Structure 1
């Protein structure tokens, strides 16, 4: 029986040596951002926290963030081939993320991952702990997560700036859609075959506004905004305010008895 096991092990070794390893393009383990250190540091912490990563250590002075997690399910390899055929039971990841300023307005983020696995060699009796080499996939996931959070932070700041600028403008200048509306009168509603509270009447479209670019016209009746019924000018303004951060608003309008759906871009 012992000779048979040795013979089988020799066959596995020969098979692993005979297989030509597929050369994979190395994955870059850092990312440069054209943002100052403070913003990237804050976005990195927020992104890791929101994604459920366990942050075990932070040191802002050195720019170090340490995250740790246990791999489970399909994330743990079932076994690995090679000189030591191992059946894996569990694995854990320790990621060291370094946020380093490269200038006053730019920052580089490095990610270094170490993986430990607990497994039993096929021809052994007891589980052993092994250090596994990262193929760069986990580092890439962390960098993509951080990049997404930095971009989201940038967009949020742009929205804050636009909102602050809007508050300085007069009520007429704040009309971001470029539409002036009023309530339907009984006579107009009767002609259109609508209830008075079925929509609002467009009485003017500001030249050069988003509304003009999608051909919203004076005399149109706005029935819905983002799937919600527009029952009065006050409701219309509130729905615009609630959805102002979207890239596009979807309006349902009535024009000369025909119901149309129009996408109105805001940015």
Structure 2
């Protein structure tokens, strides 16, 4: 038997294995072999990430010096503290956050809470230039705001990427100004998608990341490895105030909607569904014969809403929007909100044990009746409220049941009688001394004259509350 070919083959295999082993353990021959870096992504993205500085004038009453002692404040604290003659003192309160330039003309997106109550806003670029900025949109529902730099561009700007294309495990970078130390870049991965129990905004649907996010990062960019914005960093889960590896970002598809509204006139208009929805619990799923709890259950339908026009009925379960599975009402609202007005969205609906696809037209909520905004004066407990007639449009703005009607509080003046007795935005004023309040005009007439007592009934969070006040 000739063993020569076999020996030769074994020698070749040994040489190949040795070569592979040598390649595995070889000393890097070039800088490229040694360097693994995100520097190219950072160079592309960092110039468009800015620091946002705000200041506001805060006034507080002059109290005697000993009332700064915690012992005295414990026993004498509260609204009845005696004031030193001379009224009040004022001081400037500063805060900081981050932002992202998303248009070369100077549009900057940040979080709404970053600029809350600001009297002055300044934006500092990565190249150390500073500019004053004005607010174009402040949308509390999404916790987003768009600013415009008071300067001529062009400025470095970032593009949006489609946040629906993200997957858990994707590498991302967070860029911002944590603790005011200056621009900082941290890296991590997408830890989870579609987080809806964060409680930061009405459209709670967040990207979760373990990239370190700290106070001051709010409003900064979450970018992918192409240097495109996939989210705006907005919140962290922390027991100490520092990063614990659980950060949340608003998806770019929601941010894109608000920025587009800023470009088109400064008003965010969202689709109106025209029906209330609730989460499908395990018990509800079992009663409906569903394999698992998924989707939202359709409740009360507005008689003029798109939902009823599409043939939806109370008790139907919506399991998907345009093919995206829905797990709870927040996810449903997010999917609708990121669709454009004038389009038709496809809902996957389970009705009477069968599944079908229904097209729903996306229209803006109507303002009928007209809101007829009025400021209530006079000598009533309601002095200092601003009210409007309830319509589907007003109800949508205030996150109320769109089927509600009557008169609703849309603002409360600071320090007014109405604020002191506890009226808040969203209160529906139902009755005064047993008389129904049908419109803002009627409410204004009812509060013109003094009364010995006022019994005011409101609806708050679906509950009727009556309180009596002296005149």
Higher relative contact order structure (alpha carbons within 8 Å, sequence separation ≥ 6): 1
Which structure has the bigger radius of gyration?
A: 1
TM-score (norm 2): 0.20
TM-score (structure 1 length as normaliser): 0.35
Going by fraction, where is helix more abundant, 1 or 2? 1
